[in-house]
Amino acid sequence: MTTYGLIGYPLTHSFSQWYFTDKFTHEGIIDSRYELFEMPDVATALPALLQRPDLRGLNVTIPHKQTVLPYLDRLDASAEKVGAVNVIKVEADGTRTGYNSDYYGFRQSLEEWLASLNRTTTNLQALVLGTGGASKAVVAALSDLGIPHKVVSRNKTPANLSYDELPAVISQYTLLINCSPVGTYPNVAEAPALPYEQLTDRHLLYDLVYNPAETRFMHLGQERGAATMNGYQMLVLQAEKAWAIWQE
């Protein structure tokens, strides 16, 4: 039996486990299983896990997308570009390579969404809400697509905007990407602190949150005529990219 799994802490729910278990069943992949490895500290638990002879690959979620780096032998260009890892492949020789499939999932889903709306990247500028590992993947993809962007954080830094500054600039940035967990179930009444009354039908709101399917961030944008998208397609695409990496 070949084992794949997810490491992170806490693992209260897992899209990845549901997705891959369902995939194995429906595609007749009978020699594989997907497990959860809740791991408060990688230093005490990851080395032993990586020595399991049946382990072929891991997904990595918060807070370990950077703390796993010392345990890898090499990084794929995607992980180098982002500076974070969310996929580990255990190679045939036992060495470990880190990848970032969030980059691929976000980039492909954004390109497909823009095409469905008959929108292009021309004159498109983005605000990236949040500074975590997912944000880093989004920023890398936006850079490669040539979309100017600013990261928004709770506290202003020389590189980032603060939420307090958004009323003065939000008309310039028509693509708003929520990379924070704000609005995730069960906290469905929450939304990033934006001046929603300034949104128009020119704005595009992309929420990396997928549960609920329509977040308050999305709902408030729709009320102003904005197009919206949740993070489900990105999750599917990044999961399929991870599977492709493991099978290479």
Q: What is the pLDDT of residues 160-185, one digit of tens each?
A: 999 999 999 999 999 999 999 999 99
The residue ranges of every structural domain in the chain are: 2-99, 103-234
Rg of the chain (C-alpha set): 19
* Distance from C-alpha of 103 to C-alpha of 151, rounded to nearest angstrom: 16
Provide the H-helix boundaries in 127-187: 133-145, 166-169
> Which CATH topology does 103-234 take?
Rossmann fold (3.40.50)
Confidence category of residue 14, pLDDT binned at 50, 70, 90 = confident
Terminal CA-CA length for the chain: 18
Identify the pLDDT of residue 159.
85
| 2-99 and 103-234 have identical folds | yes
The average pLDDT across 56-67 equals 94
156 alpha-carbon distance from chain centroid: 23
pLDDT beyond 80 at 2 = yes
Q: State the Cα–Cα distance between residues 70 and 192, nearest whole angstrom.
A: 34
Structure tokens at 8: 């992170």
Least confident of 9-13, 37-41, 103-107, 235-239: 9-13
- Architecture of the domain whose range is 2-99: 3-Layer(aba) Sandwich (3.40)
Per-residue confidence (pLDDT) for residue 3, from 0 to 100: 98
Instruction: Report the predicted TM-score, pTM, of the whole model to 2 decimal places.
Output: 0.92
Other CB atoms within a 10 A radius of the CB of residue 27 amount to: 10
Pairing of strands 87-90, 96-99: antiparallel
Q: Which residues pair with 98 in a beta bridge?
A: 75, 88
**Amino acid 219: pLDDT:** 98
Read off the pLDDT of residues 197-240 as tens digits, 9 standing for 90 and up: 999 999 999 999 999 999 999 999 999 999 999 999 999 999 99
**CA atoms within 13 Å, Cβ hemisphere of 61:** 21
Q: Which residues are catalytic?
A: 65
Q: Would you say 40 and 11 are in contact if contact means Cβ atoms under 8 Å apart?
A: no
Report strand pairing: 175-178 vs 204-207: parallel
* Predicted pLDDT of residue 143: 97
Over residues 135-160, the pLDDT tens digits come to: 999 999 999 999 999 999 988 888 89
Percent of the chain with pLDDT over 70: 100
Predicted pLDDT of residue 157? 82
